[in-house]
Structure 1
Amino acid sequence: MKFSKLTSGSVAAALVVALAIPVIQSSPANAARDFSKVTSAGQAGGLAGLEAECRKEGQLNVIALPLYWANYGDMIDGFKKRYGVKIDEANPEGSSQEEIDAAVTNKGTKRSPDVFDLGLAVAVKYLNTGTYAPYKVRTWNNLTGAKTVDPTGQITPNYTGTMTIGYSGTLGTITKLDDLLDPKFKGKIALNGDPLGSSAAMNGIYMINKALGGTFDDVSKGVAFFKKLKDAGNFINVNPTQATIASGQTPVVIDNGYLQAGVVKEFAKIGKVWKMFTPASVGSTYNSAISAWAPHPACARLWMEYTLGEIGADVWAQGGATPTLWVHLLKTNRATAAAKASIGKSKIVAEAATPAQTAAARAYLKTAWPAAVGTN
């Protein structure tokens, strides 16, 4: 599942005021154009052509986008206000694999997702299978990693972050991994999702494993540590959410740092403290893609242009995620002060596993993980 962005205000709304919105008129060319085959804005009559057709479609279907995750609440609101279309938000706590499953299950219906937000391992798994509609946004050449992740434009890296351990300040201060074995953490430690389908969960295991001297090629040390936590009664098979954190059900959460930063802010508003401990620098980049079966193909492409453009990059940055457009924005002095205040002027790149390493790790975890900690 995806979990934690909590910011106030709408950056997207503010930027809309600053940017002129062109007057859109439909044209006969639009009527004859097959937007499900369009691979760039240029083929769609530019953004004006995409917008005109999207307004006709009237809706965009997104999936697995919690409002508190990487500032997606503001992202969704900004898109709706700018283009005047409805957004259907399915299964906000879903995993990357569940996004693909939903598209396959609902193929050919108006309920099928239009766009995806996927962890790298799942995204790459479905490359060249006919699952995605290739599309290169106008900023594609300026997106870090776009050309190396997938030069065909089936998937596009969008934002990244570093894993960390977030926890309630009432539990003291964590300075080393073995602190988590203390009886005071009994029934309190949760991992974001199932590592067999969740990138966040997989990266959580990688982080622990690396801190213990393990490598991306062998995660056994990380699994053994989680088994210790389970045997001590400290690890719980509960997917952490905004609600479980607020209620105190999951006062220790292993998840993306940009999500934990949101909890820090929200806790501060009510006089509470949420701390973070990062035993090793591990992370990964998420990826945007358009479903090959998108029922609203123009809106899907317009969403890609919006989120992977300057407005979307600013929204993600203010949510604590580092957009792949960030380096370009810094070089061109186009990064906003609010974004720089949120994620800093530079970016420390966390180590990331390759898709092949993750596939091998998941093959091992298929039996090793349930044996170590059980199942959700």
Structure 2
Amino acid sequence: MPRRVDSDHALGGLVRLAGRRSRAAGRLAPRLRMVAAGTAIAGLLVTAAACGDDDTTGGGGTTSTGVDAAKATSLADFGGLDGLIAAAKAEGELNVIALPPDWANYGELIDTFSKKYGIKVNSDNPNGSSADELTAVKQLKGQDRAPDVLDIGTSFALTAADEGLLAPYQVATWDDIPDELKEPTGLWFSDYGGYVSIGYDANVITTPPTSFADLTKPEFKNKVAIDADPTQAAAAFAAVFAAALANGGSVDNILPGVEYFAELKRLGNFVPTEGTPATIESGQTPVLIWWDYLNAGVKEKIGGKVDFKVVIPSDGLYASYYTQAISATAPHPAAARLWQEFLYSDEGQNLWLKGLARPVRLDAMTAAGTVDPALAALLPKPAGEAQYPTQEQQDAAKKIVNDNWAKLVGGA
């Protein structure tokens, strides 16, 4: 199930985790932190906020307060939630893109939203990438089937903001989103995240792997896969970065990660097949390096057929968030804003958590007692602190992977 082209959701200006979610036993692991990478990105965002013009606004009518729905920046412009609901229902539809139903529980999120508000959700290209999303925004501009909302990587959000493709909007729970995880005007804001993990079929793998080093052992011959080509897919790129951190690399040096997979290929351990739940079930890829919540989803999906287990590697902690945004040319601008209000409500955040993804409001909801504790307890617990590259380091890493993956490893 490949999606998210380029280095995608593993991107965004990031710093070393400081253990903000260190808790007593049984509670959550350290929270993923993403921070805008200094004044260069700050300048980019200020420029992006000024990029939009009247020609980029989407469809929709005037709100009850006299504001163009496509220019509404908060619930206040609709006179409150009831006004937004009424405006969204009048539009009647919402266009989403690149949201597989088994990715972070998006299937239930979409169904719940649609039933709750009586709005038809049109889901296009569910296995698409962030690059596909931005292409659709540009190519379908002015058409009823253009995307209303985006779920993209931070690097793509920065690009989209710089190109004037996004509309600023701040959800009602805006203050619960840490400042480092959102663009100040609301052009983009982080939604959910996770850690790179190792998932494996315990019926096939008799010695459970706990590290990237373990995967080089002979018993893993023809067994280890990633979900796609790391020059094209976010999760695969993240796997390479995690492998780099486990093999003497750093946030400044991803090359050891590429060399690690080259060595896996030389040993015959790397399977050049895109790993999916289907390939796990068929036995083609009994080991899959993927986001923890996606591997956990595999466990739930085919658990009756495969004894699938998930671990966060001890020697290569890497994590990141995905990002939400509203298209500046959304054909259903009120529905787009209602979708964001739903996603960032306690209900929406708990539905992401049900998909074993860590919602961005998890800290605030835990403090307020609105998080589902049973779901939170299911999250894999990493040991130690994750490392995060800045945007400049990510850009450099992306170039290294693009320049070296094909010649050292070949296609996934």
> Aligned residue for 1:177?
212
Q: Deviations over 1:292-327 (max 9, x none)?
A: 121111111111000011111111112111111111
Question: 1:163·1:207 contact (CA, 8 Å) conserved in 2?
Answer: yes
Counterpart among 272, 287, 295 of residue 252 in structure 1: 287
Unmatched segments (≥5 aa) in structure 2: 5-60
User: Is 1:293 paired with 2:326?
Assistant: no
> Aligned residue for 1:14?
none
Partners in 2 of 1:326 and 1:153 — Cα distance?
Answer: 19
Q: Deviations over 1:247-284 (max 9, x none)?
A: 33322211101111222233433463334351321110
CA spacing shift, 1:31–1:41, aligned 2, 3 Å? closer
User: Is 1:143 paired with 2:151?
Assistant: no
Partners in 2 of 1:28 and 1:115 — Cα distance?
Answer: 19
Please state whether the residue corresponding to 2:107 is helix, strand or coil.
Answer: helix
> Aligned residue for 1:353?
389
Q: How high is the TM-score relative to the length of structure 1?
A: 0.86
> Aligned residue for 1:45?
79
Segments of 4+ in structure 1 off by > 6 A?
A: 344-349
Q: Deviations over 1:152-187 (max 9, x none)?
A: 210001111111111111122224434323455444
CA spacing shift, 1:192–1:353, aligned 2, 3 Å? farther
User: Is 1:191 paired with 2:226?
Assistant: yes
- Once the two structures are TM-superposed, the CA of residue 344 in structure 1 deviates from its matched residue by 8.1
Partners in 2 of 1:351 and 1:322 — Cα distance?
Answer: 17
Q: Which stretch of the first structure deviates more once superposed, 340-349 or 250-259?
A: 340-349
Q: How does 1:331-342 map to 2 (within 5 A)?
A: 331-342=367-378
CA spacing shift, 1:347–1:94, aligned 2, 3 Å? farther
Please state whether the residue corresponding to 1:66 is helix, strand or coil.
Answer: coil
User: Is 1:205 paired with 2:240?
Assistant: yes
- Once the two structures are TM-superposed, the CA of residue 103 in structure 1 deviates from its matched residue by 1.5
Partners in 1 of 2:147 and 2:249 — Cα distance?
Answer: 38
Q: How does 1:315-330 map to 2 (within 5 A)?
A: 315-330=351-366
Partners in 1 of 2:358 and 2:144 — Cα distance?
Answer: 32
- Once the two structures are TM-superposed, the CA of residue 203 in structure 1 deviates from its matched residue by 1.2
Please provide the CA RMSD for this pair.
Answer: 2.5
> Aligned residue for 1:10?
none
Q: Deviations over 1:120-177 (max 9, x none)?
A: 2222233232011111101111113x45541121000111111111111112222443
Q: Which stretch of the first structure deviates more once superposed, 242-251 or 126-135?
A: 242-251
> Aligned residue for 2:345?
309
Partners in 2 of 1:178 and 1:147 — Cα distance?
Answer: 33
> Aligned residue for 2:249?
214
Counterpart among 124, 128, 132 of residue 98 in structure 1: 132
Question: 2:312·2:382 contact (CA, 8 Å) conserved in 1?
Answer: no
Question: 2:93·2:335 contact (CA, 8 Å) conserved in 1?
Answer: yes
Question: 1:318·1:342 contact (CA, 8 Å) conserved in 2?
Answer: no
> Aligned residue for 1:159?
192
Counterpart among 105, 112, 124 of residue 146 in structure 2: 112
> Aligned residue for 1:236?
271
Q: How high is the TM-score relative to the length of structure 2?
A: 0.79
Q: How does 1:2-21 map to 2 (within 5 A)?
A: 2=3
Q: Percent identity?
A: 38
Please state whether the residue corresponding to 1:229 is helix, strand or coil.
Answer: helix
Partners in 1 of 2:97 and 2:385 — Cα distance?
Answer: 27
Question: 2:63·2:69 contact (CA, 8 Å) conserved in 1?
Answer: no
Partners in 1 of 2:287 and 2:62 — Cα distance?
Answer: 57
Question: 2:3·2:130 contact (CA, 8 Å) conserved in 1?
Answer: no
- Once the two structures are TM-superposed, the CA of residue 349 in structure 1 deviates from its matched residue by 6.4
